[in-house]
Amino acid sequence: MPGPMGGTVGHAGDLTPREAFELVRDDPDAVLVDVRTDAEWRFVGVPTGLGAEPTLVSWLPVDPERFLADLAAAGLTPGSGRKVVFLCRSGQRSVAAAEAATAAGIAPSYNVLDGFEGPLDAEGHRGAVGWRAAGLPWKQS
């Protein structure tokens, strides 16, 4: 797939938070994988309303082999053809996760643009964009 700079994208593409929510909600075989840390899941919150709980597999510490083993343990294996949507805090870790999954044959794998909270704004705050800002369902523990 062509990327914005003319190269290739190492995953199936990027989805807005709403597109990701609708894809996973409407396709019973699709899965949302939240690649943030345990602290982010517990204290910031996790997506809900998808028909199934998101799969929680942290990308950090960066160890692609461990990450892929954790995905396999969660039932996400190469060649399944299931749509896998990766979400992180701001859309950065999830790109790396989607690319690692795609390279391992777990495809199609997508990235959620702006993640759960979005990038930092000019004042150093998150939350202007992303899953929560889009008004999509989520909960804190």
Summarised one tens digit per residue, pLDDT across range 9-24 is 699 999 999 999 999 9
β-pair type (13-15, 109-112): parallel
> What pTM did the predictor assign?
0.92
Q: Confirm or reject CATH 3.40.250.10 for domain 13-135, answering yes or no.
A: yes
**How many Cα neighbours within 13 Å face the side chain of 94?**
33
Residue 100: name the closest of 65, 52, 74 by CA: 65
What residue ranges do the domains of the chain occupy?
13-135
Summarised one tens digit per residue, pLDDT across range 46-73 is 999 999 999 999 999 999 999 999 999 9
State the distance between the two ends of the chain, measured CA to CA, in whole angstroms: 38
In whole angstroms, how far apart are CA 128 and each of 21, 45, 140? 18, 16, 18
